[in-house]
Chains A and B, each alone.
Chain A
C-alpha cells in the first residue's frame, strides 16, 4: 500500500489562494490543540478537512471563524495577510461558519436568527420586511417553505434548524463557507439538497471548507482534502488521488485492519429474549434472542421504530405488548433503575443529553450509578477506589485525557463516548444495549469502541446494538436483524453484504435511497 505524497493542487496557480493558513498553532493551557497547520483553500472549490476527533480540526475552524485566536502563524485572504481576532473580523472578510451544533435562538423567528448580529435596519429600527424577503429567497434555495421565515426556530426539527444555520451563513454574502459536519444529522434527501447548494455556491466562486466523518461523501462533493493528525496538517491532496482507505490511513497514521474479527459464540440458552414485543405507535411483534457472548445488531432506517426498541428494553418506555425475558424469566423493567438491577446496561444515543454530566470530572461520570459499590459501608464514597476505577477504565478504553479529574465537557466526542461506555463496564452487565454507539465518533475511536464491545461479549455479556450505521452493524454483529415498518423482518449472518441488508431495510416498494 503506497501513500501518495502531498501534491500541488491542480487549480489555477496564477491566482492566490482565497484563504490560506501557514504555521498556525494554538494551545489551551497545557494542551497543544494545534501544533502546526498549513492549508490553502482555492476560490470556488470544496476543500475537505478530515482527521480524528481531537486532531485539531475544530480548533482550526474556530480560529478561521474568529471564535478563537491563533497563538502563532499567519492567515492570508486573497493573498493579503489578515488578522482575525473576533467573529466580526471573520464575517467582515466573508468567512461564514455553520457549526456542528446549530447556533440558534429558539425563541426568535427564522428571519431574526438569520440576521442576528447584522440586522438590516432602517431609521434605527430593524427592517423586518427586507429581512423577511431575503430569508424567503434563502429558504427557497434550501428547499424549505417560505412560511418558515416567520416561524419560531424552537418549533423546527433539528435537521430544519441545521438548514436555517446554513441560510444564516449564506445571508452574509459569504466568500468562504465553513461547514462543520453538516451531514451528521441530515437525512439523505437533505444531504442531496445541501450538496446542490454547495455546488451552486462553488460555481459562483465561493470556497467551501467541508468537515465530515462520512468520508464517502467527500468523493461526491470535495475537490481537495487536507488531513490533520495530532494537531498537525499532514498534507493536502486532490481527492481524485485518494480512496477512503488511504484517507483513513493518513488520519490514523497507520494501516487499517478492517477484517472482521473471527469469533465463535458459545452455545447456550438465550440471555435476553424479546417475544412479540410491542409499543403502541412505535413498533410491534419484535422477536429477538441473544445468547451470552453474542452480539446482535438491530438495523433500521430512521423512523423504522428501531430506536425505541432499545429504550423499551432499558425501561425508558413500558412495552404495551409481548414480553422481555432475561435468562428465561419474564421481566417488566419500569425504569432505568429496575433495568439496571436486572443487569441490563444502556449506552444512550444522545449522550450529551442522556449520558453525561458534562461539567463533572471523568471519575464522577464513571462512578455515577455505582456509588454503593464504591463506598465504605455503602455510604461514604471511597474516593481512592473511585479514582483507581476511573484510572483503570481510562487506560483500558484509552481515553485521551491528562488525568481523571478532567471535566467531560473538555473531551472530544469519541472520548466522551468512551466515558459513558466505561460507566456501564464498572460492574459487568449481563445485557448491554447500545444505541448508535459510534455516532459522530472518529475512525480510530470507533475501532477502539468496537474492540471493547467485542471484548465484553467475549466475557459473557449479551450485546444488543441498535444502529443506523450499516457498515458498523455488519462489521461487529454475529447476527443482524433488520427492522422495517416497526417490526423485525429479515435476519442475516456474519457474511451479509451491505447491498442485501439495505434492500431488506428499504424494502422493494420503498423509494428512499440510502448511501451505503
Chain B
C-alpha cells in the first residue's frame, strides 16, 4: 500500500526523489568498520611494540611474541562474549569463576579418566554454557542489575569450584591440551593454535554483530531496551543469549588457561580475569552504558593489556606498573566515551 504513497511520482510538486549521493562508487551505508578509537589503539600498540623492540632486542623474537599472543587469547576470547554483554547494557563479573569451575572439573576428569582432547573441550564448553545460562536466566527474568547478579554468581561459582578442588591444587594433569599451549605442540608454522581459534571466533562474532539482524538487536537493546521491546525484539531471549555465549567462551578459554599452565592447577585460577576482560572491552571502545561497541576493539584492547604486561616484565620494571598503565588506559577510554556523549548532547 505505501508504495503508492512513497513513489517519487506521488510527490505533489512532481520533483524527482532526492538520490543518495554516490560519492565515486559504493556509497557508505554503515559507519566505518574501524572506529576512531580503534585506529588510536592500533597506533598506540604499534608505537609500544616499536618502543619495546628498541628497548629490549629480545621482544621481537618468537620467544616473547608467542607467549604474548597465547597470553592475550583467553582475555580476548572471553572479551568477545563480554563485548556482547556490555553492548546490551549488562556486565558479567563472574567469568573468572566460570573459568575456575570449568578448568578444575576438566583437570580432575583428565587426571581421573585420561579424557581425550575433544571431550575435554566439549566438557569445558558445556559447563561454561550451563553457568552462563544461570547468569542469563537470573538477569533476563530477575529484573535485577547484571552487576549484582553476576557478583552473586561469582561467589557461588567460586564456592562450587573450591568444593570440586577439595584440596588446594590438582596435581599430575596430563598434557592432553598441549595443542592449545605455547609449546611446539601448540603451534603450526610458528603461529599458536589458540590464537588462531580466537581470531576466527572473534571474526565470526564481529560479522554477526555488524551484519545480521540478530546482531544489531543487541545494540538496540543496549540503546533503549523498552524501545527495543516495542520494536518487536525479544529482549529476554537476546539478553539470555549474551550470557550463554559468554559462558561458552569462558569454558573454551579455560582449556587455553589449562594448556598454558604446568601439570598442577592452583585454586586461584581465573581470579581477577574478569577485570582484565572488562578492561580490554572498555579500552576497546565499547560503551559501558551499552548500545555501542565492537569485537575488533576488544581484541585490540586485549592485545594492548597483554603488551603492557609483557613490556613491563621484559623491561624489568615492577609489575605494579602494569596495573598503573592499564588503569590509565581505562580512564582515558571511559573519558573519551563520556566526552563523546557530552558533546553530542550539547549539539
Contact = CB atoms under 8 A, between A and B. Distances in A.
Counting from the closest, the 8 A-B pairs by CB-CB distance are: A105-B223, A117-B231, A103-B227, A119-B213, A128-B29, A117-B232, A107-B292, A125-B211
Contacts of B29: 111, 128-129, 131-132, 150
Contacts of A104: 223-224, 227
Given A105-B224, A117-B232, 20 more contacts: A103-B224, A103-B227, A103-B231, A104-B223, A105-B227, A106-B344, A108-B216, A108-B219, A108-B223, A116-B228, A117-B220, A132-B27, A136-B18, A136-B19, A139-B18, A141-B5, A146-B18, A146-B20, A154-B344, A170-B2
Given A105-B223, A155-B344, A141 B211 contact: no
B216 A119 contact: yes
A214 interface: no
B114 to A, nearest CB: 41
Contacts of B172: none
Interface string A121-152: 10011101101110011111100011101101
Contacts of B168: none
A139 B20 CA distance: 11
A136 B213 CA distance: 20
Interface string A146-190: 110110101100000000000000110111000000000000000
Contacts of A171: 2
B223 A107 contact: yes
B219 A137 contact: no
A467 interface: no
Contact of B233 (A106, A117, A147, A152): A117
B291 A106 contact: yes
Contacts of B212: 121, 124-126
Contacts of B217: 116-117
Given A124-B212, A136-B20, A86 B30 contact: no
B6 A141 contact: yes
Contacts of B14: none
Contacts of B229: 67, 87
8 contacts: A104-B224, A116-B231, A132-B29, A133-B20, A140-B17, A145-B18, A200-B5, A200-B12
Interface of B: 1-8, 10-12, 17-21, 27-31, 211-213, 216-217, 219-220, 222-224, 226-233, 287, 291-292, 344, 347
Contacts of B227: 103-105
Interface in A90-118: 91, 97, 99, 103-109, 111-112, 116-118
A46 to B, nearest CB: 15
Nearest to B341: A154
Contacts of A107: 219, 222-223, 287, 291-292
B226 A204 contact: no
A124 B216 CA distance: 13
A150 B10 CA distance: 24
B233 to A, nearest CB: 5
Contact of A206 (B1, B233, B347): B1
A391 interface: no
Interface of A: 65, 67, 86-88, 91, 97, 99, 103-109, 111-112, 116-119, 121, 124-126, 128-129, 131-133, 136-141, 145-147, 149-150, 152, 154-155, 170-171, 173-175, 196, 200-201, 203-206
A152 B30 contact: no
A205 B31 contact: no
Contacts of B18: 136, 139-140, 145-146
A149 B233 CA distance: 22
A137 B3 CA distance: 10
Given A107-B223, A150-B28, A140 B8 contact: yes
Nearest to A145: B18
Contacts of B12: 196, 200
A137 B230 contact: no
Nearest to A91: B232
Given A116-B228, A117-B233, A146-B18, A201 B5 contact: yes
B8 A67 contact: no
Given A119-B213, A126-B212, A204 B231 contact: no
Nearest to B213: A119
B8 A175 contact: no
B230 A118 contact: no
Contact of B291 (A105, A125, A128, A139): A105
Nearest to B211: A125
B216 A116 contact: yes
A141 B8 CA distance: 8
Contact of A87 (B222, B230, B344): B230
Contacts of B213: 119, 121, 126
Contacts of B220: 105, 108, 116-117
A132 B229 CA distance: 23
A350 to B, nearest CB: 12
B8 A137 contact: yes
B230 A103 contact: yes
Nearest to A168: B231
A138 B10 CA distance: 12
A176 to B, nearest CB: 11
Contact of B10 (A112, A126, A132, A200): A200
Contacts of A103: 224, 226-227, 230-231
A173 B31 contact: no
A146 B228 contact: no
Contact of A65 (B20, B230, B233): B230
Contact of B6 (A91, A116, A137): A137
Given A87-B230, A116-B217, A147-B20, A152 B10 contact: no
Contacts of B226: 103
B25 to A, nearest CB: 13
A97 B226 CA distance: 14
Contacts of A108: 216, 219-220, 223, 291
A97 B292 CA distance: 26
A170 B18 CA distance: 18
A30 B228 CA distance: 28
Nearest to B1: A173
Contacts of A86: 232
A152 B287 CA distance: 15
A141 B9 CA distance: 11
A155 B341 CA distance: 10
A147 B291 contact: no
Contact of A150 (B5, B30, B216, B347): B30
Contacts of A155: 344, 347
A261 to B, nearest CB: 40
A465 B228 CA distance: 38
Contacts of A140: 8, 11, 17-18
A204 B1 contact: yes
Residue in A91, A139, A154, A201 whose Cβ sees the most chain B Cβ within 10 Å:
A154
A121 B211 CA distance: 9
B235 to A, nearest CB: 11
B233 A116 contact: yes
A126 B8 contact: no
A170 B3 CA distance: 10
B273 to A, nearest CB: 28
A133 B224 CA distance: 25
Contacts of B219: 105, 107-108
B223 A174 contact: no
In this complex, the member of A116, A118, A131, A138 whose beta carbon has the largest number of chain B beta carbons within 10 angstroms is A116
Given A106-B291, A137-B17, A112 B232 contact: no
Given A105-B220, A140-B18, A146-B18, A99 B230 contact: yes
B232 A88 contact: yes
Nearest to A65: B230
A281 to B, nearest CB: 13
